[in-house]
Amino acid sequence: MQKPYRIKTISEFHQLRGLPKPEHPLISVVDYGSIIHSSDFNLTSWTLDFYSISLKRNSAVKMKYGQQEYDFDDGILFFMAPGQVFRIEIGNDRKPEHSGWILLVHPDFIWNSTLAKNIRKYEYFDYSVNEALFLSEKEEVVLNDIVGNIRQEYHSNIDKFSQDIIISHIITLLNYAERFYHRQFITRKITNHKILDRLEEILVEYFREGDLREKGLPSVQYVAELLNVSPKYLSGLLNVLTGQSTQQHIHNKLIEQAKERLSTTDLPITAIAYELGFEHSQSFSKLFKSKTKLTPVEFRRSFN
């Protein structure tokens, strides 16, 4: 397998994409209409040493990220953190019609700032391509204005206030994206509720098969792969729709199994804990009480 080509600097990105030298070495706003697409980009995968936030529209470009791919025919927003691998493909029968922008931000630009400390909280940097953010026209206008302010600020004479002002604009952009993702989780009800239904089926089947002593609890990664979504996207979706993370859903299903055994069998608590994959019954009892406010013994007594 060919090793991804690493683009270390924003200046190198500009050079590879046929763009003039960036006005600032650590931050740049690129218009898609200015990008020159080369067939060389079809020959390899790429990884960046900086953040990339892209608004793409009608680009006739297919992008591969991991095992997923997406055709950017609609206006969408996509985020990439440093070190993520991607590949761009241009169909031979399609002429690219570029529209949109890319905001490139090197980690050194935000070093020692509030954003540097908090940027990992924006979990959509870990989403897959097919989990990109679909924007309404009004939402797109909001983000275009913010990016326009960023561009104007670093085009102006740089002074001691410039960096803080630009970082504040970036934080505003990321917070709006957080809001818009929340809206997307709610408005795409049919798709998202299908994911919820499928999650329930996966957990029911997993626990029905038993062998938790050997397999242990299903991991968030395992569940996300079966649902064909990224772990962070799944947890974000579930938090919006149900108020609980993926791990909490898994634990809830485990507690259902525990309640069934406690109320319908005479098995000792230690045996039930062992059947459910716990090496120590104390760990099982602690989790059970955190979920039900009762110890396993107290819960069993309530049925006698």
Q: Do 91 and 174 fall into the same domain?
A: yes
What's the mean pLDDT when you consider all of the chain?
85
Whether pTM > 0.85 for this model: the answer is no
Q: Do 32 and 164 fall into the same domain?
A: yes
**Where a domain ends, among 123, 157, 188?**
188
CATH number, domain with residue 294: 1.10.10.60
Name the band, by pLDDT with cuts 50, 70 and 90, for residue 114.
very high
In angstroms, the CA 47 to CA 6 distance is: 5
Yes or no: say if 255 and 296 are a contact pair by the CB < 8 Å rule.
no
Q: Do 167 and 35 fall into the same domain?
A: yes
Number of domains in the chain: 2
Q: Do 79 and 22 fall into the same domain?
A: yes
With a cut of 90, say whether residue 152 has pLDDT above it.
yes
pLDDT: which is higher, 69 or 204? 204
Q: How far is CA 290 from the centre of its chain?
A: 28
Q: What integer pLDDT is reported at residue 43 of this predicted model? A: 52
What is the arithmetic mean of pLDDT over 259-265? 89
Q: Which 3-state string (H, E, C) describes 64-113?
A: EECCEEEECCCCEEEEECCCCEEEEEECCCCCCCCCEEEEEECHHHHCCC
Which range in 8-17, 54-63, 91-100, 202-211 is most confidently predicted, on average pLDDT? 8-17
Q: What integer pLDDT is reported at residue 286 of this predicted model? A: 93
Is the residue at 135 inside a domain?
yes
Is the residue at 196 inside a domain?
no
Q: What integer pLDDT is reported at residue 2 of this predicted model? A: 64
**121 closest CA partner among 64, 181, 69, 77:** 181
What is the arithmetic mean of pLDDT over 230-253? 91
Question: What digits encode the pLDDT tens for the residues 242-257?
Answer: 899 999 999 999 999 8
Is the residue at 247 inside a domain?
yes
Is the residue at 116 inside a domain?
yes
Q: Do 184 and 214 fall into the same domain?
A: no
Q: Which of 63-72, 84-93, 277-286 has the lowest average pLDDT?
A: 63-72
Q: What integer pLDDT is reported at residue 268 of this predicted model? A: 92
Range of the domain at 217: 210-302
Q: Which of 59-68, 229-238, 247-256 has the lowest average pLDDT?
A: 59-68
Strand partners, 47: 6, 85
What is the arithmetic mean of pLDDT over 210-238? 89
Q: Do 252 and 175 fall into the same domain?
A: no
CATH number, domain with residue 156: 2.60.120
Question: What digits encode the pLDDT tens for the residues 20-31?
Answer: 999 999 999 999
